[in-house]
Structure formats: C-alpha cells, structure tokens
A and B are shown apart, each in its own frame.
Chain A
Amino acid sequence: MAQHGVAQIWRRIRAIYNIEGNTCKTCDTYYFPPRPVCPTCRRKGVLEDHKFKGLGKIHTFAVVRQAPDDFKRQIPYVIAQVELDEGARVTAQIVNIDPEEVEIGMRVRACFRKITQAGTAGVIVYGYKFEPVLKVTGHSYP
C-alpha cells in the first residue's frame, strides 16, 4: 500500500535526527529549523550549517493529559520549549522524567526517540526529544 507524505519526512531526516540548523555569521544568531535567509540581516546575512550540541534548558513547558490517538500510550507527558545553549528555541517532548519533576530552567540533553508512526504498516518517524542530563561517573556535567 502506498503511503503519502514520505518525501516530506525524508527531507527533514538529517535535521530532526541531529538537530541540524544554521547560523548567521553577520549577526551571530542560530536558527532551528534552518532558515533560507537571516530575517534580521536579509541580503547581508551569511548563513552556515550548524549542528547543535543538543544541550539546553527548559524555557517553559506544559503537561499533556488529553492526547491524539498516536500519543495515548504516553499520557501524561511533557511538551516543552527548550532553549538550546547556542540560543535557538525548539519545541519538544521531555522524556525520562515524571511530569511532577519538570521545572523551568532545568538542564536537558537531546536524546533519540520514536516521534510517531503511521499505523502498524507505515513509516516510523524518529527524531529528537529531550531528557534530564545524565550522571556520568568520573565527569562533572554542567
């Protein structure tokens, strides 16, 4: 059976797997998703690809208790705006934490998760979500 919209998913794969956006060298601003032109500098903007480190903090969040069918298995879950260390803000799910423990300003890191799937026969979409920073033995994390 044919599935529509596969090309649209495929075009975004590299960006949503690795949080790849871009940066304007003229005004030192970072963008995700990548912008075709810098909205501030316009023609004077010099854009370069940028792979975000995937570290940031929670800017704001909401707990989702009523979800579409695809996400019912995960309720209650947290959707947040994450401010990446480079400056760009992304909207993403926060995982590996109970909703009651999520706080504004909390340090998070990007992780790789299943985002959605088109039924049991369709394509599976993967990408970034965020989780609290992990303890690493022998390492002092930010």
Chain B
Amino acid sequence: MVGIVGYGVYVPRYRIKTEEIAAVWGEDGPKLAKGLGVFEKSVPGPDEDVATISVEAARNAIKQGDIDPTDIGAVYVGSESHPYAVKPTGTIVAESIGCTHDITCADFEFACKAGTAAVQTCMGLVDSKMIKIGLAIGSDTAQGRPGDALEYSAAAGGAAFLIGKKKPVATIEETVSFTTDTPDFWRREGEDFPSHGARFTGEPAYFRHVGAGAKSLLKKTKTTVEDYDYFVFHMPNGKFPIAMGRQLGVPPEKLEDSLIVRQIGNTYSGSAMMGLARILDIADPDSKIFMVAYGSGAGSDAFSIKVEEEIESRRGEVPTMDDYIARKTYVSYAVYAKYRRKIVALG
C-alpha cells in the first residue's frame, strides 16, 4: 500500500509574540492571543523563503527515510508564496537534494492545501507505477498586511513527505477531497498581501469544507471518530480546529498533540502537514491518524493514515517538530518588519 516512506519539517528560528504585534496596533495582547489561540508565530530570516524552507524539510525527509534521492521520480512543491511567479520552486529543491534530472516537477497552488494536493498526486503516480518515490512539499512564508488580523497568525515553515511503497513509516489508507467555488481568501496577481472575507472565512468556508471532507472520509472508510487515535485539522488559528473537533465529536485529547499553531502560527501550506509530522514524531505503531487539510477558495483533502512498525527504527535521525519549536529567538516588531521587507526604503 502507498504510504509515507520519509518525512521532515523545517521552522525558521525567529519568533514574534502575539503581544508584541498587538502593542504596535494598540490592541490587548494577552486577550487577543488567548482568543486566537496563537501565542507566538515563526518569522523567516531575511535570507529564507519557500525554496530554502522546502530544501531543509526535504533534506530532513530523505535522511529520516534513508532514501536514495535518485529513486525520486517527482518533486511537487505546494505554496502560496513561491519565490518566483514564473520558475518552479521544485527545480531548486530537486537540484539541491541530489535528484537525477530524469524527473517530473511542478509547483502546486491551492491556498493552504497545496501540499496535500501534491501528496495525493504522488500517491496516484506511485500506485500506477509511473514513479518509485514522489516528493510532496507544503511550505510557506505567509504575509499578513500590517495591522490586518492575519498579521497575528501568518507564519513560515514547511513539511516534506516522501510517498512510496517500500517500507513506509505510515501507510495512507484512504484519501478524499471536497471542492467548491468559495471566495473566502485570495490574492490577486501583483498584490503583496492577500484579501479575505473576514467573518465569511469561518462557517461557509473552513467549517463547511473541513466538515464535509471529514464526513466523506468517515463514510468511505466505514469508520467513526472512535476508530482514530489522533486528529489533525488545518490550523488557520488555534480556535478553528478545536471548534471543528467539537462539531465532529472529537475528544479534545485526540486533537491536542497536533496544535502546533499555538507556538508557531499558521504556516499555510505547511500547517496540516506539520501537525501530521508532529503526530508521526510521537505516535506508536498501529496508531490511526485522521487528517483534514483545508485550502481557501475552497477545498479540503482528508486522509486516513496508519502508523507502521518501521517508524521506530527511523526516529532520532533528524530534528523533530518539537526540536524546531524549541529552537527559537524572539524578535521585536521592528526587527520583524526589517526581515519581512515591510520597510520599503531598504529595497
């Protein structure tokens, strides 16, 4: 069965506290952090972007899975902050991890679920024997307009999953998707910052699509919430996944371990995949994971995953999600603005 034969994550070192951003705009920081469920978020260094984050995550995945990079037949990078508008990020990733040149490569885009769309594509290519191993990456350096609500959560990070058949650390038992035309969040060509439908991003967007994806997967697999040990939902903030869990009857303790959003913010295309990585870091073999990624625009990709014995022998090779969360240096809003190119005069 097709599964994850290696995985890795990357989070930049810098963090800014919600309170620090709130102080700049005269908001009540502690109250805002608690309401949002985001206490600090990751900030990329001035020399980091989706290509560098993707490469670091991919190198970790290859080492974690003990994979020969020349066995990789496809490299797909999902992001909404690709460094080039035209020139695939995947080409840079493939060259920097030692892939052969006889591979297929493309960049994916579906707001925050571009990475899981890449996972599904790799699953199809592996299952049809077109490729041996596919590399699917979800990675972002998300930007919120200064002063906008998104500024408190838009973060940076990425996860890389190697999809194949030989000795998987986890098998992907089933996947389904749900897609509609829903304008909850978008960014037009040439615009630096995204726009959103404010309150419209909740019920008709996130909750409808994640909920429909989840129900569809349960129906297709003839399973119930009780059959799963861990749940991972896309994390635009700390409160949406918890509310989603409540709607679906998921006990909070089954969701708790995936909520990386509290410490690193919303890593967009990386979000659900990094939450899954955190579960893979800690789950025992035979554990069952239920994941639903969400992308604005809008759609959801749901996965039923089973952890395999192989995972135990692969631990301790690369930094875990928690190792990256713990490695941090706080920056002020001024340094954050300098790094994120919000000071225009510096070019």
Interface residues of A, Cβ cutoff 8 Å to B: 13-14, 17-18, 51, 69, 72-74, 93, 95-96, 98, 111-115, 119-120, 124, 126, 129, 134-139
The segment out of B40-48, B196-204, B236-244 that lies at the interface is B40-48
Q: A74-B47, A95-B45, A113-B48 are in contact. Are A136 and B346 (CB under 8 A)?
A: no
- Interface contact B83-A18, CB-CB below 8 Å: no
Is B252's CB within 8 Å of the partner chain A?
no
Interface residues of B in 203-256 (CB under 8 A from A): none
Tell me which residues across on chain A come within 8 A of B347, comparing CB atoms. 69, 119-120
What is the total of A-B residue contacts with beta carbons within 8 Å?
78
Q: A72-B346, A73-B339, A113-B47 are in contact. Are A137 and B323 (CB under 8 A)?
A: yes
Q: A73-B338, A137-B320 are in contact. Are A18 and B98 (CB under 8 A)?
A: yes
Tell me which residues across on chain A come within 8 A of B92, comparing CB atoms. 17, 126
Chain B residue, CB-CB nearest to A113: B47
Instruction: Kindly state the separation between the CA atoms of A98 and B316 in the bound complex, as whole angstroms.
Output: 27
In the assembled complex, how far is the CB of residue B65 from the closest CB belonging to chain A, in whole angstroms? 15
Tell me which residues across on chain A come within 8 A of B309, comparing CB atoms. none
Interface residues of B, Cβ cutoff 8 Å to A: 13, 45-49, 51-52, 55-56, 59, 83-84, 92, 95-96, 98, 281, 315-320, 322-323, 326-327, 329, 338-339, 341, 346-347
Add 13 more A-B contacts to A69-B347, A137-B315 (CB < 8 A): A17-B95, A51-B98, A73-B46, A73-B338, A111-B52, A114-B47, A114-B48, A124-B51, A124-B83, A124-B84, A137-B320, A137-B322, A138-B316
Chain A residue, CB-CB nearest to B84: A124
9 contacts between A and B (CB under 8 A): A17-B96, A73-B46, A112-B52, A112-B56, A114-B51, A119-B347, A126-B96, A135-B323, A136-B317
In the assembled complex, how far is the CB of residue A59 from the closest CB belonging to chain B, in whole angstroms? 22
Q: A74-B46, A135-B319, A136-B323 are in contact. Are A111 and B56 (CB under 8 A)?
A: yes
Q: A74-B46, A96-B45, A135-B326 are in contact. Are A113 and B52 (CB under 8 A)?
A: yes
Tell me which residues across on chain B come within 8 A of A137, comparing CB atoms. 281, 315-316, 319-320, 322-323
Tell me which residues across on chain A come within 8 A of B317, comparing CB atoms. 136, 139
Q: A95-B47, A114-B48 are in contact. Are A73 and B346 (CB under 8 A)?
A: yes
- Interface contact A114-B52, CB-CB below 8 Å: yes
Instruction: Kindly state the separation between the CA atoms of A44 and B83 in the bound complex, as whole angstroms.
Output: 46
Instruction: Kindly state the separation between the CA atoms of A138 and B320 in the bound complex, as whole angstroms.
Output: 10
Tell me which residues across on chain B come within 8 A of A138, comparing CB atoms. 315-316
Tell me which residues across on chain B come within 8 A of A18, comparing CB atoms. 96, 98
Instruction: Kindly state the separation between the CA atoms of A96 and B55 in the bound complex, as whole angstroms.
Output: 16
- Interface contact A112-B98, CB-CB below 8 Å: no
Chain B residue, CB-CB nearest to A137: B320
In the assembled complex, how far is the CB of residue A133 from the closest CB belonging to chain B, in whole angstroms? 10
Q: Which 8 pairs across A and B sit closest by C-beta, in order of nearness?
A: A138-B316, A17-B96, A112-B55, A139-B316, A114-B47, A113-B47, A73-B46, A96-B13
Tell me which residues across on chain B come within 8 A of A17, comparing CB atoms. 92, 95-96
- Interface contact A112-B96, CB-CB below 8 Å: yes
Instruction: Kindly state the separation between the CA atoms of A74 and B347 in the bound complex, as whole angstroms.
Output: 12
Instruction: Kindly state the separation between the CA atoms of A59 and B45 in the bound complex, as whole angstroms.
Output: 24
